[in-house]
Structure 1
């Protein structure tokens, strides 16, 4: 594709994000304009849309962002601060790989501006949780696909995720107990809902094959037991809960097609909700580490 056409498409994407405004005003608009300036290697515009005060101080975060078109995720606005999940092409240029980071913004007299230093610190000194977030993204892709595909990779990935939980247990427990308490309560409620859904399936499917009933009964018991352990959450109990969810997904794949397809949509929805809550937990945890580190 000719460079001029590619640049035109990039410009069109960002212009659409600006929604017709003469100048970016909302955090999302400013973040889009900032990353467009980074893609253009335009130090002047970077100064205009960020807290950087001198063009001479522009260092592009020691990376080449040419034509790096971002996609944006969750937006959190708290008073005069905001942060936006931002996904950009991976540094090594691997096809399909995305670098996930947080664009931080502050609101001043001139409106919203990207916090240049804080955003850069997250890029230059990545959090140890980036690997875990990457794993969560991979798990998300697996969950959005059919559970009928091989579950071996899913279980292995979730088990690795659980081990990562335990690796950071000591440090994370010290600095993020409140976040763990909130997440533990949310995860416990979600596991309870999934357990009730499984129990409802047992009640409705009295004629289901005996093998299916055994699978569902064991899934309900494990969800109940591990959910109760979250009354006093720590990194180990959260890891155990993640393994139980992995095993539950694996069990669903072993059901007969008739039983599985009857409840597939509901179970996929509940597991997707759990994944979203987990991603939010790690985003919260990453912010705590960034502010306290």
Structure 2
């Protein structure tokens, strides 16, 4: 399996590729051309860059994409299939809000094409974790900007975990149950250990500012609640637990430097355990 991790591929780059290449070839180029055609409501071009067989079947996925400018995230290419994390303006919501989805592609007769039906299915019947994925992405950007390099790696991993859960959720069946159970147990224990560490910090004789105590108390309660939910792990409870861990990392950034520095090494060790468990889980899910 060939894997590519792309970040920050903004619309300007996509449009530049379209202008300079009349025949998009790579999955990224084809996806950019496809969504440009969707934004222009051009059924002929949509059919050219996708598996849509008849312009009469073009439905725009039952919404308007006029002037929708995409940005792209992680790309996975495996043999004759590819997935690209795609961010587009939400149909409704606050200004700047983005809809995160997966563009699916297939290689047909030597050419990459967007899988029109599969991409549409993911939009019309979204994963129940879609909002969680977006929240993890936001928290990832926040923590990456404000925490240490070690926690940057952790948050990026949690973001990758969330996106992989979305990309692979449709293909998970009985074969994933064992991996889910094992990861659930490891994640639960790691969250328990992190919770105990936070409680130890609250009981420490060292003076802790009231604001820091409130942050630590809330983080410990949330970890305790979500760890309980992992007694019988499901995709939903795993996603919720991942969000809680990410929120815990975000809360660390709001602690005073004195408190953070006192426990930084210990907390980063606990987060590293979660990262390792997530790595193993994702590898078990890969074909």
Structure 2 equivalent of residue 67 of structure 1: 67
Structure 1 equivalent of residue 45 of structure 2: 45
Structure 2 equivalent of residue 153 of structure 1: none
CA distance in 2, matches of 1:116, 1:269: 44
Which deviations, in whole Å up to 9, do the C-alpha atoms of 1:133-188 show, x marking residues without a partner?
233234334434547xxxxxxxxxxxxxxxxxxxxxxxx99674245257559858
Which deviations, in whole Å up to 9, do the C-alpha atoms of 1:242-265 show, x marking residues without a partner?
598468648846865246358869
Gaps of 5+ in 1: 1-9, 148-171, 203-207, 289-293
Structure 1 residues 93 and 38 mapped into 2: Cα distance closer, same or farther (>3 Å)? farther
User: Is the contact between residue 84 and residue 104 of structure 1 (CA under 8 Å) also seen in structure 2?
Assistant: yes
Shift of 1:239: 7.7
Q: Equivalent residue of 2:25, what SS?
A: coil
Structure 1 residues 53 and 177 mapped into 2: Cα distance closer, same or farther (>3 Å)? same
Shift of 1:94: 2.7
Shift of 1:18: 5.0
Which deviations, in whole Å up to 9, do the C-alpha atoms of 1:213-260 show, x marking residues without a partner?
xx9xx99xxx9xx99xx9x98349858965984686488468652463
User: Is the contact between residue 87 and residue 101 of structure 2 (CA under 8 Å) also seen in structure 1?
Assistant: yes
Structure 2 equivalent of residue 234 of structure 1: 233
User: Is the contact between residue 190 and residue 270 of structure 1 (CA under 8 Å) also seen in structure 2?
Assistant: yes
User: Is the contact between residue 76 and residue 83 of structure 1 (CA under 8 Å) also seen in structure 2?
Assistant: yes
CA distance in 1, matches of 2:12, 2:240: 46
Q: Equivalent residue of 1:105, what SS?
A: strand
**In the alignment, structure 1 residue 210 sits paired with structure 2 residue 209:** no
Structure 2 equivalent of residue 77 of structure 1: 77
CA distance in 2, matches of 1:179, 1:185: 10
How many residue pairs get matched?
230
Return the TM-score normalized by structure 2. Answer: 0.58
Structure 2 equivalent of residue 14 of structure 1: 14
Shift of 1:209: 7.9
Greater radius of gyration (CA):
1
Gaps of 5+ in 2: 1-9, 148-171
Pairing of 1:170-185 with structure 2 (within 5 A): 176-180=176-180, 183=183
CA distance in 2, matches of 1:30, 1:126: 23
Structure 1 residues 65 and 188 mapped into 2: Cα distance closer, same or farther (>3 Å)? same
Structure 1 equivalent of residue 92 of structure 2: 92
Pairing of 1:1-293 with structure 2 (within 5 A): 13-18=13-18, 20-92=20-92, 94-144=94-144, 146=146, 176-180=176-180, 183=183, 210-211=206-207, 234-235=233-234, 238=238, 242=242, 245=245, 249=249, 252=252, 257-258=257-258, 260=260
User: Is the contact between residue 27 and residue 105 of structure 1 (CA under 8 Å) also seen in structure 2?
Assistant: yes
Which deviations, in whole Å up to 9, do the C-alpha atoms of 1:36-81 show, x marking residues without a partner?
1111111111111000112222111111111101111111112111
CA distance in 2, matches of 1:109, 1:46: 18
CA distance in 2, matches of 1:265, 1:60: 50
Q: Equivalent residue of 1:29, what SS?
A: helix
**CA RMSD across the alignment:** 5.2
Mean Cα deviation higher: 237-246 or 71-80: 237-246
